[in-house]
Amino acid sequence: MAAQDTTGDTAGDPAEDTADNAADNAAGVTVQTVTGPVAASELGMTLAHEHLFTDNRRRCREPDPDDAEAVEIAGSPLHPAYLARLRFDPMLSRDNAVLDDADLAVTEALRFRAVGGRTIVNQTPLDCGRREGDLRQVAERTGLNVVAGAGYYLEAFHPPWLRDATLDEIADSIVREVEEGTDGVRAGILGETGVSADFTDEERRVLRASGRAQRRTGLPLSVHLPGWERYGSEVLDVLEAEGCDPAAVVLSHLNPSAGDVAYHRALGARGTWLSFDMIGIDWWFGHQNTQAPADSVVASAVAGLIGEGLGARILISCDTYLKMQLHAFGGYGYDHLPLRFLPALVREGVAPERAAALLTDNPRDLFVTAARTGAAGRGS
């Protein structure tokens, strides 16, 4: 059902009040991009959870040797003829799972800039094909702000040394990415930090260390949730125990739980950020036996949360991590949100300025609020 009267009075709502304060203080906060610091107030239209470069081949499955088409798709360069099959099994193609072409990234990113885009947050962590030099090249060639991520993804992607490392050693390694950087590129956000459906002991330890790093750096901490599970509250419990304020935490991949209003309401009540960052991903994930919801379903859910006063705590993005999501391969591209999803929100009854704020005010306020919580933690 479409949300009604989502532009009404939200006075007294903690999320709205916090956002107002964040806007007031934005002038004093800078965001580290791959080419240097930028005032939070200058971020402009921002995609808060994307990947310009990434390598997810470790998540690909082996094809059935008796399925000739699957064997061909798995071992061949991505081709338009494969897209119908991949919409029902996107991780079948190994080539689909890699974004490593700087020229293509520039071309695709320029489509976002052409519709008013200013900033892309690249949430590719260590050992996942982050390509720091290419990130800088994209920023320089497009004029966009590009923010790099730090930390560690799912356990399958962890470097071997993490297994025996202490929490402080892991936290120190994350903080070094922020303070010193890699190949001259310093991180401006922590994440996406990986939590799998198994939520392994090692992932839990890395999450705890990431919470400590957040408190030390004052950067937002973005957590990859297994979208079809309900781990949000547990993740916040783990992080709060390490002194990390939920107001600095982004819970990613909430699209699959779009119909679970009680879940989102409970998370929002803790002051965390609700990230619906799978816009445009409506595939059947064959390797998981799950269907991602259509944009219309997500738009209705987001509109409902805005109507409940949680609009100041919502982020939206497309989580572009496969070639098939790019324009060059028939996908929606990085410009999908302003061109198609914001109008979908307006059709659901959201005021145009409130819809637009999800891509401007909210990402800015995320960085401002995280900086304040980090400063409070360091001063305690």
pLDDT tens for each residue of the chain, 380 residues long: 333 334 333 333 444 444 555 555 676 899 999 999 999 999 999 999 999 999 999 999 899 999 999 999 999 999 999 999 999 999 999 999 999 999 999 999 999 999 999 999 999 998 898 999 999 999 999 999 999 999 999 999 999 999 999 999 999 999 999 999 999 999 999 999 999 999 999 999 999 999 999 999 999 999 999 999 999 999 999 999 999 999 999 999 999 999 999 999 999 999 999 999 999 999 998 777 899 999 999 999 999 999 999 999 999 999 999 999 999 999 999 999 999 999 999 999 999 999 999 999 999 999 999 999 876 555 54
Q: 152 Cβ partners below 8 Å, 6+ apart? A: 125, 126, 127, 158, 159, 162, 170, 174, 193, 194, 206, 210
With H, G, I as helix, E, B as strand and everything else as coil, classify residue 19: helix
With H, G, I as helix, E, B as strand and everything else as coil, classify residue 45: strand
| The pLDDT value given to residue 151 | 97
Give the largest CA-CA distance in the chain. 62
| The pLDDT value given to residue 3 | 33
Q: What domains sit in the chain, N to C, each tagged with a CATH number?
A: 14-53+100-379 (3.20.20.140)
| The pLDDT value given to residue 20 | 53
Bridge partners (DSSP) of residue 189 are: 149
pTM (2 d.p.): 0.92
- Do 53 and 135 form a contact (C-beta atoms < 8 A)? yes
Bridge partners (DSSP) of residue 19 are: none
Tokens of 59: 């998540």
| The pLDDT value given to residue 287 | 72
With H, G, I as helix, E, B as strand and everything else as coil, classify residue 32: strand
| The pLDDT value given to residue 21 | 57
Ordered alpha helix ranges (H), the chain = 14-25, 68-75, 83-86, 102-114, 132-142, 167-179, 201-217, 232-241, 261-268, 295-307, 336, 342-347, 352-357, 361-379
| The pLDDT value given to residue 169 | 98
| The pLDDT value given to residue 77 | 98
